[in-house]
Amino acid sequence: MGFSIALIVFSLLLMLLVLMHKGKGGGLSDMFGGGMQSSVGGSSVAERNLDRITLVVGLLWFACIVVLGITMKMNN
C-alpha cells in the first residue's frame, strides 16, 4: 500500500517538474528544419538543479514501479 501511494506522489511530482522545464524547441517548425537558430548559451544553475531533481524523482518513480511489480508477482 505504501509503494502505491509513493508511486502516485512521485507521478504527480514528476509531471509538475517536467512541466516546469523550459521548452527547447519551437514545435512543428523544428521538425522540418525551420528552427535552425539555437541558443549556444549555457543553462542556468536553477535549470541544472531542476534537471537533477527531475532525474532523482524519475529514478524513485522507476524504483517504485519495480518494487510494486516484484511484490505483485510474489503475491500471485
What total of structural domains would you count in the chain? 1
Rounded Cα distance between 22 and 47, Å, is 8
Would residue 30 count as lying in a domain? no
pLDDT at 35 over 60: no
Give the confidence band of 7 by pLDDT, cuts at 50, 70, 90: very high
Cβ–Cβ < 8 Å for 76, 46: no
More confident residue, 56 or 22: 56
The predicted structure's pLDDT at residue 16: 94
Nearest to residue 22, comparing CAs of 53, 44, 52? 44
Give the confidence band of 22 by pLDDT, cuts at 50, 70, 90: confident
Would residue 67 count as lying in a domain? yes
Q: What is the pTM of this model?
A: 0.73
Other Cβ atoms less than 10 A from the Cβ of 64: the count is: 20
Would residue 69 count as lying in a domain? yes
| Positive or negative: CA dihedral 24, 28, 31, 32 | negative
The predicted structure's pLDDT at residue 38: 52
